[in-house]
Chain A
């Protein structure tokens, strides 16, 4: 069982690295969607001692949101804004990958030094990968110009926080997890509308140009 979770963790690390290295927005959306689906199924794997309704509901809800609803919303926003790829990010793709490697090393080091208050049955990698996912999300938010990519960065950041939640899935109440997911849903929904409006107003979704707006 632990081996399966390890494999899932490696898949999540790989999806983060792929996100850092790819320029096509459609590909980025697909990567984040598959990361969301993998993460959504994680509670089913991590949960030992029988699968109950609580876990299944959480998994189903998060897979539907992250695997279907968000990609659909973002693909629509991307199509409306007619942008295909991030041409000139603030940090280039090769440098992003190198930064990702550094972040991975740091988070694996830190993950071993952050003991959880109780022993979790699932993989020892969980904390490290959660940290790495959060760092990746933050990095994407600060290093990309297109608003769609920044939303993706936010989603990856949230995925990282969700992974901590998975570690605690037996301890934390269902309502809190579902509430967090609902918040994320609303946030992405609002961001989708915002991208649409920014695009309609300025004919592009480059956020760096918004910072020099004058009244």
Chain B
């Protein structure tokens, strides 16, 4: 029964992840006074890309081809670790937050070396930025999750998010709130959303994630886009798991509430992107250190 629910949760992630991007884009369009692209545009894009053939430059090696595949598979693995809607994740064991962080690290590493493999100086620049920011983001993720782990006295991600309830919010509200705020910053950084990176720009000197995948095309690019959507979903599930204290025990009801909360999160991301300008690149590390300060404060309060 439990395993069936975990599998349904994963299928939900596979099915609905690109929809998050659609909701974000529609929110941004609403704020800009446009109609915006269809809600299911991300699905259309992925389908269109999958039907195309791939072109590889002669200077690239197998690394370029392995990048998107390893990236997507590592990201899919993370969907198995992060629980959704208060149920048990497919893979749950003490310390699985490390596996989560390093699977994300593996996906990032392959995206980065695939970008370097093309030999384009432009992509190397994006790769360098990606690595710089994520090396600052990773400790913040650990600190934030350590605070939640301490507060809920559980070492596995599923246990942590299942233990979050109205009582834990009453007794440890500040800790959970600070940890959630820090993880929101990490959510925006890791998914290259606005204050850090702009997913819409393609030919600008300040972009990060999009520049690394410029030379991928066809199915490879579909893998990358789908992987990015799942990553967004996984981080969203992590964040909503901390914020949403309600567990009715009814799996269907919990699932619906979690999906609603995820859509709300997508709307919030859309609002952030519409109302904020992107930071200067020099300001991004400062923002991440600020998020680190929040996470550290949460941990210190939890340890007290």
Output the least CB separation between A28 and chain B (Å): 15
B300 at the binding interface (Cβ < 8 Å): yes
Contact A3 B290 (CB under 8 A): no
A101 at the binding interface (Cβ < 8 Å): yes
Question: Which residue of A6, A13, A94 is within 8 Å of B297 (Cβ)?
Answer: A13
Contact B173 A108 (CB under 8 A): no
Smallest Cβ-Cβ distance to A92: which chain B residue: B286
If A17-B290, A17-B293 are given as contacts, then 20 extra A-B residue pairs at C-beta distance below 8 Å, sorted by A number, are A3-B170, A3-B171, A6-B174, A10-B301, A17-B294, A17-B297, A21-B289, A21-B290, A97-B289, A97-B290, A101-B292, A101-B297, A104-B293, A104-B296, A104-B297, A104-B300, A105-B296, A105-B300, A112-B304, A124-B304
Query: Known: A100-B293, A101-B292. Is A7-B300 also a contact (CB below 8 A)?
Result: no
Smallest Cβ-Cβ distance to B174: which chain A residue: A10
Chain B residues packing against A (C-beta within 8 Å): 170-171, 173-174, 178, 285-286, 289-290, 292-294, 296-297, 300-301, 304
Interface of B is mostly: helix
Which residues in B have their C-beta under 8 angstroms from that of A14? 294, 297
Which residues in A have their C-beta under 8 angstroms from that of B292? 101
Alpha-carbon separation in the docked complex, A127 to B47 (Å): 60
Which residues in B have their C-beta under 8 angstroms from that of A17? 290, 293-294, 297
Contact B304 A21 (CB under 8 A): no
A98 at the binding interface (Cβ < 8 Å): yes
Smallest Cβ-Cβ distance to B286: which chain A residue: A94
Chain A residues packing against B (C-beta within 8 Å): 3, 6-7, 10, 13-14, 17, 21, 93-94, 97-98, 100-101, 104-105, 108, 112, 124-125
Contact A97 B173 (CB under 8 A): no
Question: Which residue of B170, B171, B293 is within 8 Å of A101 (Cβ)?
Answer: B293
Smallest Cβ-Cβ distance to A98: which chain B residue: B289
Which residues in B have their C-beta under 8 angstroms from that of A101? 292-293, 296-297
Contact A21 B173 (CB under 8 A): no
Output the least CB separation between B285 and chain A (Å): 6
A-B interface, 3 closest residue pairs, ranked by CB to CB distance from nearest: A10-B174, A94-B286, A97-B289
Interface of A is mostly: helix
Question: Which residue of A7, A93, A100, A105 is within 8 Å of B174 (Cβ)?
Answer: A7
Contact A97 B174 (CB under 8 A): no
15 A-B residue pairings within 8 Å (CB atoms)? A3-B171, A13-B297, A17-B294, A21-B289, A21-B290, A94-B285, A94-B286, A97-B293, A101-B292, A101-B293, A101-B296, A101-B297, A104-B293, A104-B297, A125-B304
Output the least CB separation between A12 and chain B (Å): 11
Alpha-carbon separation in the docked complex, A105 to B304 (Å): 11
Alpha-carbon separation in the docked complex, A14 to B297 (Å): 9
Which one of B171, B285, B292, B296 has the highest number of Cβ atoms from chain A below 10 Å of its Cβ? B296
Output the least CB separation between B2 and chain A (Å): 35
Contact B173 A3 (CB under 8 A): yes
Output the least CB separation between B224 and chain A (Å): 31
Which residues in B have their C-beta under 8 angstroms from that of A105? 296, 300
Contact A21 B300 (CB under 8 A): no
Which residues in A have their C-beta under 8 angstroms from that of B300? 104-105, 108
Smallest Cβ-Cβ distance to A124: which chain B residue: B304
Output the least CB separation between A93 and chain B (Å): 6
Which residues in B have their C-beta under 8 angstroms from that of A108? 300, 304
Alpha-carbon separation in the docked complex, A192 to B297 (Å): 34
Output the least CB separation between A17 and chain B (Å): 5
Output the least CB separation between A40 and chain B (Å): 21
Smallest Cβ-Cβ distance to B299: which chain A residue: A105
Alpha-carbon separation in the docked complex, A101 to B299 (Å): 11
Output the least CB separation between B86 and chain A (Å): 24
Which residues in A have their C-beta under 8 angstroms from that of B294? 14, 17
Smallest Cβ-Cβ distance to B177: which chain A residue: A10
Contact A10 B178 (CB under 8 A): yes
Output the least CB separation between B287 and chain A (Å): 9
Which residues in A have their C-beta under 8 angstroms from that of B174? 6-7, 10
Which residues in A have their C-beta under 8 angstroms from that of B293? 17, 21, 97, 100-101, 104
Output the least CB separation between A72 and chain B (Å): 28
Alpha-carbon separation in the docked complex, A170 to B300 (Å): 29
